[in-house]
Structure 1
Amino acid sequence: MNNKELDNTKKHICFISAGHLSSNPRLIKEATLASKKGYKVSIVAIQTLEKLVPFENQLLKENPSWQTYIYPFYKKKLLYFFGTLFHHLAKQIPNLARYFEYGKMSINTPFWLPFYSLLKNIKADIYSNHNIYLTPLVYQIAKKNKAKFGMDIEDAYSFITAKTIEDGQKNIMEIENKYFPKADYITAASPLYVDFYNKLYQSLPSILPILNVFDDIGEQEIKEYKDRKNTKNLSLYWFSQTTGKGRGIEQIIEALNVIDRNDIELHLRGEVNQETKEYFLTLAKTQNIKENIFFHELVSNQELAKRTTEHDIGLALEIGFSINNELAVSNKIFQYINTGLAILASSTKGQSWLIKKSSKVGFLIDIQNIKQIAQKIEFLADSKKNNTQELENMKMASKNLSKTKYNWTIEGQKFIKIIELIL
């Protein structure tokens, strides 16, 4: 961690992460591109899980030009105790805490104090905020330094779990309503967020959708399969930070029960405990299916692309349980396109927006219609088994989209243009 005050010989962008840097590929892409374009880049983040630190160390090694300010919260140093203490006190006396901006932040997060200790020494031209809870702090520091304040809407923050506007998190809505209109620019990870937020709040700056696409990795020669067990089998693949219940995996296993074939593998990547593994395996009704369900550990972002390439079908199984889940266009669906996988996507509004524009890459499914899901999987399994072109055509269409439309070389220019516009 570098705590020296930065000089301003170049235009300087300070990125504020919501947590672990390695868990924020959107910020990483923006920071990497800004650095390549000659901007001075600093990044402020926090570490809460020691097991993710090696991924971050590798990332920082690959980007030596970044100035990184990372507080190791997991080590439980002094600011951990003060931040946690203020958080618990503020939650006990919320009516009093709400009179003060820092009191409000203490209610929302124990992390604001470590972030403040790092941010106060950074003088930038733009503060690009990816942390909704720290928005008041980031805005105040930007204002103090006569700098620009940018906000990224990676999720509909107030509605991560809420099904209606009335159920939205009031503390976050208060932050959004007060500070979003003060932003010099706002970007959003889904085009559906644009209309949603413009209807929700007044006097917002123009919201620019920037999709969560990746650098096109070109054609990949697979020299060694680390995930797949039998390349003759159809391989279904899903990944996230956490492999858990209620994320559409149950419906896929139910569909596999309907088909009951031994030539289909299901690969799940994410943090998972033994109880959850046993839960999913118990759902499999036959040994054929149970033996072909595989759990994989998290890997670095670079390794993730290589592992994803091994598979045939990427599963994007959002179940639309909240406003955010319904409107989001997730990272994983673009990772599948980037690595040339056919796609099986649930028909949320966000995913329908994408797949209907790119129908050759795969199928939209009703996540609650097990019979329909089974039919789509069996169709693709038959294509794999019989060497017909349907599956391969989908994979080629997906890869072509990565080359020609959904890649960071194209999408990233939107971010650079908005930075150039406000400076």
Structure 2
Amino acid sequence: MHIVLVSSGQPSANPRLVKEAVTYSEAGYAVTVVYCPLSPWADAYDRALFKKYASIKWVRAGYHSTEQKALYVFARLRQKFYQYLFRAGIHNAFTAVRSMSLFTQELISAAKRIKGDVYAGHNLSALPAVVDAAHMHRVPAIFDFEDFHRGEDQEGSLHWIKTKIVEDQYSSLLHHATTASPLITAAYAQLYPSVKFTTINNCFSIRYLQSALRLHDTTRLKLFWFSQFVGKKRGLETIIEAIGKTGQKNISLTLLGNCSEDIKAYFVSFANEKGLAEDQLLFMPAVAEESIPSIAAAHDLGLACEIPHVVNREICLTNKIFLYLLAGNAILFSNTEAQTLFYKSYPETGTIYPHDNAEELAVILQRYAQDRQLLNRQRATALLLGKTFFNWEAEQQQLLKLVSDL
């Protein structure tokens, strides 16, 4: 069986896509990944990835911003034209699809040129390509709704309207769909009852499991957060404010990810305003995914500090949680619906807090700083849960069964 995976982004910018591709390849399937070059920062990581997984065929659709400047500029102007039409009130599938991504047309063409036995998509902009290619070759189409896409903005916004048009046009034509949280599954199943949805948690490989719980300096409490990009309104302001409210200088926060000088200056200024010393807020540049668990393991608490400012943030289950488990971090969960549901099922992995209440969070941080027994017990529970249940080797079995049943 030949499985064709289609994404409107780069592989290294989508760990879930890579995990799925590697899973299928290691299970003996022929795998092709069609992707678009949207993230120049990921180029070096992609080259290493392609070399590591040479048995997977990697096909680029679209134009690189530096290697093919003229064609890239053309694609940008083309997208802006369709975005103008959409803003002008021409709301249909044609304008919605073409204004959503730089390389929609190239992605559809590339997917259609490759004969597959099943097409599987990642990122909403790839949904039309997956459905169109599967229809052309008369084979099943699968799509991974990692997020609740229409819930990424306020209802009635242009983004919401565009997303709804694309989802309504193509989702009911899928043979099967996956999501990254039980509440996203419930939301999409209600919208498209004819489609079967399966929750595939955003776990990481058990190869990332730390062999033993690291014993840390008991005089310091070290917090950790990571993402591809460090930015505002990710819940970090509440964390920093809470650290300041404790009045303790032995609590530090490390932020790992691509960070512009403006954003760094913003957080340094904010931390200074809240009373943090210079060594209490640390920045680390983005690293390869496989390097993150060992870095996280050098810290005590992992932060899952989502802010539910839109529906998607309320019901998504961030992949950070599953990496923290493998790293042996106790977890601070903000009280989104999805994270509350997870925390209630596994309360010994950390503590939940109101996402907008720095004072209550400060009390929690002080308790951890004073009670190492509690902290290490939760860290050990997290590590055990990652080892026995929440790892990709366990989670991927659902994905393999899904494909084998097609």
Q: TM-score, normalised by structure 1?
A: 0.89
- C-alpha change, 1:118 and 1:97, in structure 2 (3 Å) is farther
Match of 2:251 in 1: 264
Alignment of 1:146 onto 2:138 = yes
Is residue 79–residue 114 contact of structure 1 (8 Å, CA) maintained in 2? no
**Corresponding letter in the other structure for 2:261:** Q
Structure 1 378/417 Cα, relative in aligned 2: closer, same or farther at 3 Å? same
The CA deviation at 1:381 is 1.2
Q: Please, which of 159, 184, 189 is the counterpart of residue 193 of structure 1? A: 184
Corresponding letter in the other structure for 1:42: T
Task: Report Cα offsets for 1:168-219 as digits up to 9, x if no partner.
Answer: 71121112122111101010101001221222x2443111011001112333
What is the one-letter code of the residue matched to 2:379? Answer: K
1:299 is aligned to 2:287: yes
Unaligned runs of 5+ in 2: none
Q: What secondary structure sits across from 1:399 in the alignment?
A: helix
Q: Relative to structure 2, which stretch is displaced further, 50-59 or 285-294? A: 285-294
Q: How far does the alpha carbon of each residue in 1:47-84 deviate from its partner, in whole angstroms, 9 at most, with x for none?
A: 22322211111111111100001245222445423422
Q: Contact 1:160 / 1:325 at 8 angstroms: preserved in 2?
A: yes
- Cα RMSD (Å): 2.4
The aligned amino acid for 2:36 is: I
User: Larger deviation: 133-142 or 57-66?
Assistant: 133-142
Structure 2 residue identity aligned to 1:391: L
Q: Is 1:332–2:320 an aligned residue pair?
A: yes
Q: Distance in 2 between matches of 1:245 and 1:286?
A: 16
1:108 counterpart residue number: 100
> Secondary structure in 1 aligned to 2:46?
helix
Per-residue CA shift, 1:101-145, capped at 9, x if unaligned? 3x4422222221332343232111111011212322321111111
23 and 419 in structure 1: CA distance in 2 versus 1, 3 angstrom threshold? same
- Partner secondary structure for residue 73 of structure 1: coil
Work out whether residues 328 and 382 of structure 2, in 8 Å CA contact, stay in contact via their aligned partners in 1: yes
Out of 41, 45, 55, the residue aligned to residue 51 of structure 1 is: 41
Shift of 1:271: 1.7
Tell me the distance in 1 between the aligned counterparts of 2:51 and 2:162. Answer: 38
* Gaps in structure 1 of 5+ consecutive residues: 1-10
Alpha-carbon distance change, 24 to 257 in structure 1, aligned in 2, over 3 angstroms: same
2:350: which partner in 1?
A: 362
CA contact (8 A) 1:180 1:204 kept: no
Distance across 1 between alignment mates of 2:334 and 2:392: 24
Instruction: Indicate yes or no: 2:199 matched with 1:213.
Output: no
Q: Secondary structure at the match of 2:142?
A: strand
Q: Is 2:385 aligned against 1:393?
A: no
Q: TM-score, normalised by structure 2?
A: 0.92
Tell me which of 155, 163, 167 is aligned to 1:172: 163
Aligned mate of 2:263, from 268, 276, 279: 276
**1:266 and 1:85 mapped to 2: Cα distance?**
41
Whole-angstrom distance in 1 between the partners of 2:396 and 2:141: 19
Contact 1:262 1:289 in 2 (8 A): yes
Supply the distance in 2 between the matched residues of 1:168 and 1:198 (Cα, whole angstroms): 21
When residues 222 and 20 of structure 1 are mapped into structure 2, their CA distance, relative to the original with a 3 A threshold, is farther
Q: Distance in 2 between matches of 1:299 and 1:195?
A: 34
Question: 1:182 aligned to 162, 166, 173, which one?
Answer: 173
What letter matches 2:43 in structure 1?
A: V
Aligned to 2:29: 39
Identity %: 28
Paired residues in the alignment total: 401
Once the two structures are TM-superposed, the CA of residue 288 in structure 1 deviates from its matched residue by 5.2
Output one character per residue of 1:365-399: Cα deviation in whole Å (capped at 9) or x when no partner.
Answer: 0021112100111111112xxxx411110110001
AA paired with 1:209?
T
Contact 2:141 2:176 in 1 (8 A): yes
- Report the residue type matching 1:382 in the other structure: Q
Matching residue of 2:72: 80
The AA in structure 1 aligned to 2:174 is: A
Equivalent residue runs for 1:151-162 within 5 Å: 151-162=143-154
1:150-173 Cα distance to aligned partner (Å, 9 max, x none): 0111001111122x5788711211
What pairs up with 1:87-102 in 2 under 5 angstroms?
87-94=79-86, 101=94
Alignment CA distance shift 1:78-1:205 (3 Å): same
